[in-house]
């Protein structure tokens, strides 16, 4: 028999991921809004609190929860420190509240309440016994007062309500059966602009292999555009065996530089730097100098080895062996990738492999790196990542990991649940308005938003979409604005992106011609048609507007032209409202009406809307519908600041 | 470190109620379709099985699950015995399947597969070691064969695939972390037609108090209409203190019979029968005779006492006391119900109270009762019901409980989760087409369908809706058809219902005038306008058509007239298709077009649709849209049998 007097049920607590198996994610300064179904038998009033604490704290903090409709309750707290936080819900029957509610009804009906005041006096006296000091004294006095002539007034006083609320009888209360967790990260996990570049292409002179020092010289360029993270593909020695030549050709000449993802050579493996890039000292100097520019250096965690990697000699037990005794290279039958050895995570020696791979992360953390882009995490076991991330976070909770898992939705979401802070997405292939609405609604309105933080990339070294190939510079511009305003985190692979270099290896293939993955390239950053000014402006708007620094408030607006995608974002406190209208057509001017449902005011005067991207102020109508015209030859979008609160959405 | 080689994740198993805290419900012969997200890292093939067993069985039965889209898998099993059953999911990486898949690709590309056949031979030899007898022998032979010239053919043979599937390597498999439960009940829990009547009004002569023997004489009438359950309001002695008179008047004359819910008098309490109804022997005879008519007698579990109940004297500790020492009567301030004492479930003596109330159920089970209607369960603690139901089911798993909780949705659903087999609903107050669609969609398409079995009542002794008061006989007829065809379980409170007695105490109040709750009434069952023939026909159709014996397949059909509600139900095997079109307007003829999306056949000839309710065959068009016209003076509805499978629904 459970004690019948524990009458309150607490269920459907949200957010809660997989029955509390995984934490939800927040950044420092963010709120956690918790809702729960809380109810009991009968008609008694309830009281409900949200309990929260930082992991490791002894005491729980309590904040009251308020009833909404249909037995749903809501409360919230703010998280201010990186690390794990916990929360749960408690509730109990509030007999005093029930009593005052009923007393008011009896009095309104003109009933004699003498007996009821005696019942109330018993409740108050019991609270006095739970209280201390002056509160106990006041409660004792009031209990006496209740049975006198002044009882009615005393019963319904605010002071008594406050004193009773402060000394509730919780002995038959219910505590939600689980303690749920929040993984709190620094703000960069939620709001970040990434720039990817190949350091070996960073030399200012044509023909020379770039170095860390060249990247250092490039920092003002990258920081000047307003990026937060500079991500470098693998910086390690590159294998020679089966090295690939230009455009991924199987026969490489003697000068071929190879793919940076074929990690490991005679000069070392995952802890070494490629000698042509410089030394570890040079790298550390780059990290420090970047920090002075407000940039974090992110490196690539690509867990695989070239045949020349020291691991292949020293730890053959970490690889699978073919019947002839050689190490099994990577395959996607019938394709063979003989320059790459995947690790065998089903090896009996998996423990030492795991430990080594975690120590690789720790090594780079010790060099000052706090941000990692993880190559193909979906081809390594889930349990490995959960273990690795937890281990790294124990000493370095501020490490941020971006998951490069272009794979099925369940797998991408599961990696996010395991601890990856950000994830690549399907954004690059979503071009139509309905596709973008559907995908973004999934990311921002379903439970996924609690653990999956999208990072939108219009291009990567592996992804040159058909839309970019065929749409010219205007396509790159519009995809940039979409990425940077739909998602709080986005990134570009430059300088090809800002230079709108969109020639494919073959038409219809997503590979760049003469890809930097296989050669050293040289770029003229000062080309007149560079998107650099647009990018700079967009990043500046992002930094000035809290509305664009989160994804939860995204909502799509109606248009009467399916080539115009319109959406709004509002800062958490509601004060900053940004409306974006993008022309999805890179070739033709598009015009139409967009509904911006603002809160009406007396007299409904029109109000100004300011285009932060192109300048100019428009006078917008309070009936919601406004005319918009966008010529891709001039601008891909309006990014409007609207100084009116938006109406809540109809469900 | 979890073992890295356990690579498969199993999550989002459905059905699963509150993380497995509550069982799902089925009846004997029903299927349990289970789905789960099952995936691993990388690109290996997986195998997945659904495990199930009756509670208490030692071994698990396994059935294969099949992949759908996006890593979703599905399997099913059937339950054939009343009681608890369990299920869970297991999955593992299927290296042999991966190997054959890759081998096919290599062969298609014309590659040399010598080394691959060696790898395969190792896999097959390992399976041989797990097998026994002739299977082991065949596997050993095949392993040898694989490295010969005939290796390719042997590798892809069906026999080998079957042998390998029968001897998988599951040592690194994943088992879902929870064992989920199914509460299996007899079929009556899902499909039932209830008839409620006051036994004291059952006398054939005017002015006499009815008896159990009179009810016995009424059985052919009730069974003849096709009902399964005959539910009697409380049959116990009725208190005299504060007894209510006709129409709930506070002053009762000496002949007032009182409300049957004011249970308990000098003649006894919850285990006694009202002497005017007869003896316990008479009651048992009624139960037996009813069974011969295919009817179950259901009685009322109303856990409250009149001031004259023996409990009030013998167990004052089960009640709350007022400051003057008297027992607290029921209240809904400012209203007072002095003829009713509620039990105090917060009493320190709750244990003995619980035990007594459970023993009351057991007592009636021993008298042959298997079906109970539970009065106001939402005013007693949830923990009490969970304990009581589990206790009763231990010895009597076939006991069926109908929850009379007209309260907030969360509370109604929670009672269903705790074990009530059926529940009253909001049906009585849903009259518009959109309301009915919305409510039924919630009941049949959300998780609620796994544990909440609706029982639709157009009226009860407490509920005479405005629609019935104002719509005349036609309103009663249409509400009957809606209740009986929308829900597999429904009930009416008669004879007032079939006689279309709809005079309220006051206009706008839901109370019947001269309610049987407070007086003995006498009914002329042979009135010419009785709905008895309609009810008889509807119940016969229900019994003949499996489509109407469950709620899961309900789907609404489009009409171009919002006064016409159209819907279809299909039997689980798809062979029986019933389309119902109801005119929601009791006053005027309504006509319009209804879309019945049938599977097209070559030539698309029209097909016959047979009206089971009114007779007549119609020729319906295969483009889906058909004309319908319904005159409430003639019939409330078409109930059509359609001999074409319905097209699947668009999502």
Cβ separation A346–B4 shorter than 8 A: yes
Write the pLDDT tens digit of every residue in B170-216. 989 999 999 999 999 999 999 999 999 999 999 999 999 999 999 99
Q: Which of B32, B59, B65, B63 lies closest to B181 in space, CA to CA?
A: B32
Helices (H), A422-559: 433-445, 466-486, 532-544
Show the tokens assigned to B167: 């001897």
* Nearest by CB: A9 against B37, B322, B382: B382
Cross-chain residue pair B414–A345, CB shorter than 8 Å: no
The rounded distance, in Å, linking the Cα atoms of A644 and B39 is 47
CA distance A550 to A401: 18
**Contact residues on chain B for A383, CB-CB shorter than 8 A:** 1-4, 6-7
CA–CA min distance A645, chain B (Å): 32
pLDDT > 80? residue B166: yes
In eight-state DSSP terms, residue B494 is: T
What whole-number distance in Å separates Cα of residue A647 and Cα of residue A596?
9
Which residue from A554, A497, A527, A537 is spatially nearest to A635, judged by alpha carbons?
A537
Contact: A324, B108; criterion CB under 8 Å: no
Q: Which of A4, A146, A335 to mutate to test the interface with B (most CBs of B within 10 A)?
A: A4
Residue B607 burial (CB count, 10 A)? 16
Q: Which residue has the tokens 């009206």?
A: B611
**CA A354 to CA A348: how far, in whole Å?**
12
Residues in chain A: 651
The size of chain B, in residues, is 651
Q: What is the pLDDT of residue A604?
A: 73
User: Residue B537 has which token pair?
Assistant: 């026909």
> What is the pLDDT, as a whole number, of residue B42?
95
For helices A350-366 and A382-395, the axis angle rounded to 10 degrees is: 40
pLDDT for B92-136, tens place per residue?
Answer: 999 999 999 999 999 999 999 999 999 999 999 999 999 999 999
Distance CA(B295)–CA(B483), nearest Å, equals 20
Q: Are B572 and B31 in contact (CB under 8 A)?
A: yes
- pLDDT for residue B251: 87
Whether residue A1 is predicted with pLDDT greater than 90 in this model: the reply is: no
Identify the pLDDT of residue B649.
85
- How many other C-beta atoms can be found within 10 angstroms of the C-beta atom of residue B59? 7
* Cβ separation A383–B7 shorter than 8 A: yes
H or E element, residue B431:
none
Q: Which of residues 308-337 of A touch B (CB under 8 A)?
A: 322-324, 331-334
For A118-135, letters b (16+ CB in 10 Å) and e give ebbbebbebbbeebeeeb
CA B551 to chain centre: 8
Of A30, A196, A214, A404, which is the active-site residue? A404
The residue to which tokens 């707290």 are assigned: A77
**Closest by Cβ to B9, choosing from A42, A354, A382:** A382
What's the rounded Cα separation, in Å, for the pair A277 and B391? 75
* Predicted complex ipTM exceeds 0.85: yes
Would you state the structure tokens that stand for residue B429, as one six-digit string?
A: 């107050």
* Cα separation, A16 vs A447, whole angstroms: 9
Q: What is the pLDDT averaged over residues A301-312?
A: 98
| Residue B33, H or E segment | strand B31-39
Residues with Cβ < 8 Å from B494, sequence gap 6 or more? Answer: B195, B196, B197
- For chain A, positions 48-77, list CB contacts with chain B under 8 A: 70-71
CA neighbours within 13 Å on the CB side: how many for B344?
17
Cβ atoms B370, B400 nearer than 8 A: yes
Provide the 8-state DSSP code for A60.
P
B102 interfacial to chain A (CB closer than 8 Å): yes
- Structure confidence at residue B372 as a pLDDT band (50, 70, 90): very high
Of the partner residues B5, B6, B71, the one whose CB lies closest to the CB of residue A408 = B71
CA B588 to chain CA centroid, Å, is 34
Q: Is A348 exposed, middle or buried (0-12, 13-18, 19+ CB in 10 A)?
A: exposed
Catalytic residues of B: 375, 404
Give A524: exposed, middle or buried? Use CB within 10 Å, 0-12, 13-18, 19+.
Answer: exposed
Contact between B354 and A4 using a beta-carbon 8 Å cutoff = yes
Q: Between residues 338 and 397 of chain B, which touch chain A (CB distance below 8 Å)?
A: 345-346, 350-351, 354, 378-384, 386-387
Residues of A in contact with B37 (CB under 8 A): 410
Token pair, residue A224, equals 């000047």
For B535-569, write each residue's pLDDT tens digit.
999 999 999 999 999 999 999 999 999 999 999 99
Instruction: Tell whether the model's pLDDT for residue A135 goes beyond 70.
Output: yes
Q: Which of A119, A332, A410 sits opposite B37 (nearest CB)?
A: A410
Residue that is written with structure tokens 């939600």 in the block: A176
| Torsion angle of C-alpha atoms A41, A44, A45, A51, degrees rounded to 10 | -40
Q: What was the pLDDT predicted at A2?
A: 59
pLDDT higher than 70, residue B2? no
Contact A106 B41 (CB under 8 A): no
Other CB atoms within a 10 A radius of the CB of residue B597 amount to 19
Q: Is A30 a catalytic residue?
A: no
**Residues 161-190 (A) with a CB less than 8 A from some CB of B:** 172
Nearest to A351 among B1, B6, B39 (CB): B1
Interface test with B, best of A378, A381, A442 (most B CBs within 10 A): A381
Contacts of A332 in chain B (CB under 8 A): 43
Q: How much is the mean pLDDT over chain B?
A: 96
pLDDT tens digits for B376-429? 999 999 999 999 999 999 999 999 999 999 999 999 999 999 999 999 999 999
| Rounded Cα distance, A415 and A386, in Å | 8
Mean pLDDT value of segment B6-23: 96
Half-sphere exposure of residue B525: CA atoms within 13 angstroms, side-chain side: 15
Percent of chain A with pLDDT strictly greater than 70 = 99
Contact B115 A351 (CB under 8 A): no
The string of DSSP letters for A285-296 reads: HHHHHHHHTT-E
Write A110-117 long-range contacts (CB < 8 A, 24+). A111/B334, A113/A152, A115/B322, A115/B323, A115/B324, A117/A146, A117/A147, A117/A151, A117/A152, A117/A155
Q: Mind listing the pLDDT tens digit for each residue in A287-302?
A: 999 999 999 999 999 9
- Please indicate whether, in this complex, the C-beta atoms of B383 and A6 are within 8 angstroms of each other: yes
The predicted pLDDT at position B532 comes to: 98
Distance CA B308, CA B393 (A): 31
Full-model pTM = 0.94
Contact B374, B233 (CB under 8 A): no
Helix residue ranges, H only, A337-495 = 350-366, 382-395, 409-418, 433-445, 466-486
A106 touches chain B (CB under 8 A): yes
Collapse the DSSP code of B434 into the 3-class scheme (helix H, G, I; strand E, B; otherwise coil) and give the result.
helix
Per-residue confidence band for B602, with pLDDT thresholds at 50, 70 and 90: low
Helix (H), strand (E) at residue A634? none
Catalytic (active site) residue A447 = no
Distance from CA of B594 to the nearest CA of A (A): 28
Taking CB atoms and an 8 Å cutoff, what residues of chain B touch A378? 41-42
Alpha carbons B557 and B649: distance in angstroms, whole number: 10
Helix (H) or strand (E) holding B14: strand B9-14
Per-residue confidence (pLDDT) for residue A508, from 0 to 100? 86
**Cα A600 to Cα A644: distance, rounded to the nearest angstrom:** 9
Nearest residue of B to residue A334, measured between CA atoms: B106
Rounded to a whole number of angstroms, the distance from the CA of A414 to the nearest CA of chain B is 9
How far apart CA A7 and CA A379 sit, in angstroms, is: 48
**Which tens digits make up the pLDDT trace of B494-518?**
999 999 999 999 998 999 999 999 9
pLDDT above 60 (res A651): no
Closest CA to A92 of A180, A179, A9: A9
Of B42, B105, B384, which is closest to A379 when you measure between CB atoms?
B42
Residue A615 has pLDDT above 90, yes or no: yes
Q: Is the pLDDT of residue B651 over 60?
A: no
Alpha-carbon Rg for chain A, nearest whole angstrom, is 30
Quick one: tokens of A288?
């420090």
The answer to whether the bond into B334 is cis (omega within 30° of 0) is yes
| Nearest beta carbon to residue A411 from set B39, B109, B378 | B39
Put simply, the answer to whether A4 touches B350 (Cβ < 8 Å) is: yes
Tell me the pLDDT tens digit for each residue of A561-609: 999 999 999 999 999 999 999 999 999 999 999 999 988 776 778 899 9
Q: Which residues of B touch A448 (CB under 8 A)?
A: none
Buried b (16+ CB within 10 A) or exposed e, B628-646: bebebeebbbbbbbbebeb
The Cα–Cα gap between A646 and B219 comes to 65
* Chain A nearest C-alpha distance from B324 (Å): 8
* Contact list, A2 vs chain B (CB under 8 Å): 383, 386-387
* Helices of type H across B372-445: 382-395, 409-418, 433-445
Q: Average pLDDT in the B231-245 region? A: 97
């Amino acid at each position: 028999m459970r004690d019948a007097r524990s009458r309150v049920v607490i269920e459907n607590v949200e957010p809660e991921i997989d029955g509390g198996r995984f934490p939800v994610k927040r950044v420092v300064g963010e709120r956690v809004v918790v809702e729960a179904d809380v109810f009991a038998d009968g008609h008694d009033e309830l009281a409900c609190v949200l309990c929260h604490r930082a992991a490791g704290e002894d005491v729980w903090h309590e904040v009251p929860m308020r009833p909404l409709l249909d037995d749903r309750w809501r409360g919230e707290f703010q998280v201010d420190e990186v690390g794990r936080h916990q929360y749960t819900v408690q509730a109990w029957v509030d007999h005093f509240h029930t009593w005052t509610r009923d007393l008011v009804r009896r009095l309104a009906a003109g009933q004699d309440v003498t007996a009821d005041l005696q019942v109330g006096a018993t409740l108050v006296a019991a609270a006095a016994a739970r209280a201390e000091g002056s509160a106990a004294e006041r409660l004792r006095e009031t209990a006496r007062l209740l049975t006198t002539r002044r009882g009615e007034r005393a019963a319904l006083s605010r002071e008594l309500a406050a004193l009773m609320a402060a000394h509730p009888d919780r002995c038959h209360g219910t505590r939600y059966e689980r303690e749920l967790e929040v993984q709190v990260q620094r703000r960069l996990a939620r709001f970040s602009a990434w720039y990817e570049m190949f350091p070996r292409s960073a030399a200012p002179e044509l023909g020379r292999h770039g170095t860390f020092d060249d990247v250092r010289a490039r920092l003002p360029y990258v920081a000047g555009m307003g990026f937060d993270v500079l991500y470098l593909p693998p910086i390690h020695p590159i294998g020679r065996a089966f090295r690939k030549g230009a455009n991924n050709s199987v026969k490489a000449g003697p000068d071929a530089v190879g793919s940076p993802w074929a990690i490991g050579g005679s000069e070392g493996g995952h802890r070494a730097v490629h000698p042509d890039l410089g030394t570890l000292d040079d790298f550390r100097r780059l990290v420090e100098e970047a920090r002075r520019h407000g940039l974090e250096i992110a490196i690539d965690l690509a867990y695989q080895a070239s045949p020349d990697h020291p691991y292949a000699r020293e730890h053959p037990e970490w690889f699978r062996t073919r019947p002839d005794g050689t190490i099994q290279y990577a395959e996607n039958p019938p394709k063979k990738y003989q320059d790459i050895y995947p690790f065998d995570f089903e090896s009996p020696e998996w423990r030492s492999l795991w430990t080594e791979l975690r120590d690789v992360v720790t090594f780079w953390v010790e060099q000052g790196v706090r941000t990692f882009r993880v190559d193909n995490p979906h081809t390594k076991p889930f349990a490995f990542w959960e273990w690795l991330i937890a281990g790294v976070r124990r000493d370095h909770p501020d490490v941020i990991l971006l998951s490069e898992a272009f794979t099925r939705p369940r797998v991408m979401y599961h990696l996010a649940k395991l601890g990856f802070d950000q994830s690549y997405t399907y954004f690059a292939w979503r071009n139509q308005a309905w596709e973008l609405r559907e995908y973004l609604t999934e990311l921002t309105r379903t439970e996924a938003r609690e653990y999956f933080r999208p990072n939108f990339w219009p291009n990567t070294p592996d992804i040159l979409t058909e839309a970019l190939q065929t749409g010219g510079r205007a396509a790159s511009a519009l995809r940039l604005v979409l990425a940077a305003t739909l998602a709080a985190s986005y990134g570009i692979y430059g300088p090809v992106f800002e230079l709108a270099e969109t020639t494919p290896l073959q038409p219809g293939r997503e590979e760049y011609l003469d890809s930097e993955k296989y050669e050293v390239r040289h770029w003229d950053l000062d080309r007149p048609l560079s998107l650099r000014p647009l990018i700079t402006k967009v990043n500046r708007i992002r930094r000035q507007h809290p509305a664009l620094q989160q994804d939860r408030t995204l909502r799509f607006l109606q248009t009467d032209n399916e080539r115009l995608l319109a959406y709004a974002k509002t800062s958490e406190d509601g004060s900053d409202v940004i409306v974006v209208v993008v022309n999805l057509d890179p070739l033709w001017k598009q015009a139409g009406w967009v509904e911006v449902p603002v809160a009406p005011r007396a007299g409904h005067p029109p109000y100004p809307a300011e285009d932060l991207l192109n300048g100019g102020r428009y006078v917008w109508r309070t009936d919601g519908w406004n005319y918009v015209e966008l010529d891709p030859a001039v601008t891909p979008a309006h990014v409007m600041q609207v100084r009116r609160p938006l109406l809540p959405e109809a469900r």
